[in-house]
Amino acid sequence: MSIGYVDVVLGLQWGDEGKGKIADFLTPKYDVVARFQGGPNAGHSLEMNGVKHVLNTIPSGIFHENCINLIGNGVVIDPVRLMDEIDRTITAGADVRSNLYISRKANLILPTHKLLDAASEEQKGDQKIGSTLRGIGPTYRDKYGRNGLRTGDIFHPNFKAMYQKVADSHMKHLRQFGSDADGLEHMEQEFFAAVDRLREFKFVESEYFVHELIKSGKRILAEGAQGSMLDIDFGSYPFVTSSNTISGGVTVGLGVAPKYIRKVMGIFKAYCTRVGGGPFPTELNDPIGEQLRKAGHEYGATTGRPRRCGWLDLVALNYAVMLSGVDELIMMKSDVMSGMEEVCVATAYRLNGTETNQVPHNYVDVDLEPVYTSHPGWSEDISQHRSESQFPETFRNYISWLEEQLDVPIKVISIGPDRVQTVVRETQSA
């Protein structure tokens, strides 16, 4: 039997590119879908047969029969939210009991992590990150500070005492923040009730599990959360999340060696969005931005917050392609731009009077002015098209121009939220 491999699909912008839709679309080609970082800050939407599902921690292969869905060691898990999501997903018809596997090394989001997230944001005033308040930052901080609890610990006879020790130390920090830990008692009750239920699911030594799957010829799809510009190292720091969202995150987030990674697929929207604070050079605070938000239903899948909208940014996109070594591109939501007379794309930044094609280290502090190239738009509704040959010529020209700019083939074009609204380009095989 030939050896298996890992393919990666991840977001190249500020999140919400459409990873859930595409991971679900690609799943029939894989035996396993695995999340490698992030947690319930993610909101991945899948739509099939007119019904929308939102997944936060469960991988997007869960609606396919016999697909193994693994929550990897790099993910942070909130038992309360995960149990709620499991219940919802079972009700929606997925066989979660059989097909969901959870790493024993994934760190736990505790109730006090969520309070710390809120208190830390509160203290930042107008410099708020705009965190989803799911406890992500404090949980990763404890992981790297070597104070965290992991899912494997829930089977320990002294789990409650282990929890208390960490919670007590969090209380000290909360007091420093001036927080009175309102509602903690109720949150803890919910937490331990969820932990009791979670124990019934399948927990694995995930790095061995993945390795065995690869050795037995299985094809694994590693599904990213967030986006490259939210990466803890390379994103618009400090307005980022707390994990490595680029392809490098796969090896440590699943425990697979780089040699097993076969290809990286990068997802981008035909425009840009961002939720929360931080730099966004191509942001449109005008009627065009409003039009994109309305037509694209740009409201957070997790928090319902309106997303900031702007033109496509090729400087940031090329950076993300470079960081993850993207082999194939997948373009989302071009249907949203139908009817625009012109479509603008940032091809460079002007920084202190000089043009640059690089994202500067002090992205947050400098005033970047995007340098735009304008393209004729397409007026037709493309959302019902099912092959590339049906696309209007202006749209086809735009795709070819983008491919030249990015030097990576665009293999799939998504033109609507549903599974079926996905065009695999005839000239390419995705």
Structure token digits, residue 196? 């009791």
CA distance 90 to 94: 5
Catalytic residue, from 7, 24, 44, 335: name it: 44
CB 53 within 8 A of CB 310: no
Residues 40-59 that bind Mg ion (CB under 5 A): 43
Q: Which one of 16, 24, 231, 313 is the catalytic residue?
A: 16
Distance CA 133, CA 37 (A): 17
Least distance in angstroms from the C-beta of 163 to Mg ion: 30
The β-bridge relationship of strands 312-313 and 219-223 is: unpaired
- Which CB sits closer to ligand IMO, 129 or 174? 129
Query: For ligand GDP, which is the closer residue by CB, 18 or 276?
Result: 18
Residue 131 interface partner, choices ligand IMO, Mg ion, ligand GDP, none, CB cut-off 5-8 Å depending on type: ligand IMO
Q: Are 245 and 228 in contact (CB under 8 A)?
A: yes
Residue 335, contacted partner among ligand GDP, ligand IMO, Mg ion, none, CB below 5-8 A by kind: ligand GDP
For ligand GDP, the closer CB: 271 or 349: 271
Please report, as ranges, the residues that interact with ligand IMO according to CB under 6 A.
11, 15-16, 38, 41-44, 129-132, 134, 136-137, 225-227, 230, 241, 275-276, 301
SS3 76: strand
Residue 412 binding target from Mg ion, ligand GDP, ligand IMO, none, CB below 5 to 8 Å by type:
none
Is 16 labeled as catalytic in the residue annotation? yes
416 binds ligand GDP (CB under 6 A): yes
Residue 328 interacts with Mg ion (CB under 5 A): yes or no: no
Q: Where are the alpha helices (DSSP H) in 177-286?
A: 184-198, 206-215, 248-254
* DSSP 8-state assignment for residue 233: T
Q: Which of the choices ligand GDP, Mg ion, ligand IMO, none does residue 414 contact, using the CB cut-off of 5 to 8 A by kind?
A: ligand GDP
Question: What's the DSSP call for residue 110?
Answer: P
201's tokens: 């699911």
Helix 159-176 and helix 111-124, axial crossing angle in degrees, nearest 10: 10
Choosing from 4, 7, 8, 20, the residue that interacts with ligand GDP (CB under 6 A) is: 20
Q: How far apart are CA 403 and CA 136, in angstroms?
A: 35
Among 19, 113, 114, 143, binds ligand GDP (CB under 6 A): 19
Cβ neighbours of 200 (radius 10 Å): 8
Helix boundaries (H) for 125-158: 136-144
* 301 near Mg ion (CB under 5 A): yes
Report the alpha-carbon distance of residue 419 to residue 414 in Å, rounded: 9
The residue among 202 and 419 lying less far from ligand GDP, judged by its C-beta, is: 419
Per CB under 5 A, 17 contacts Mg ion: no
- Rounded Cα distance between 187 and 193, Å, is 10
Q: What burial letters (b/e) apply to 9-18, b meaning 16+ CB within 10 Å?
A: bbbbbbbbbb
From 275-283, 320-328, 331-339, 369-377, span contacting ligand GDP (CB under 6 A) = 331-339
Among 8, 10, 17, 423, binds ligand GDP (CB under 6 A): 17
Residue 31 appears among annotated catalytic residues: no
- Residues marked as catalytic: 16, 44
Summarize as ranges the residues that interact with ligand GDP (CB under 6 A). Answer: 11, 15-21, 42-45, 47, 296-297, 301, 332-333, 335-336, 414-417
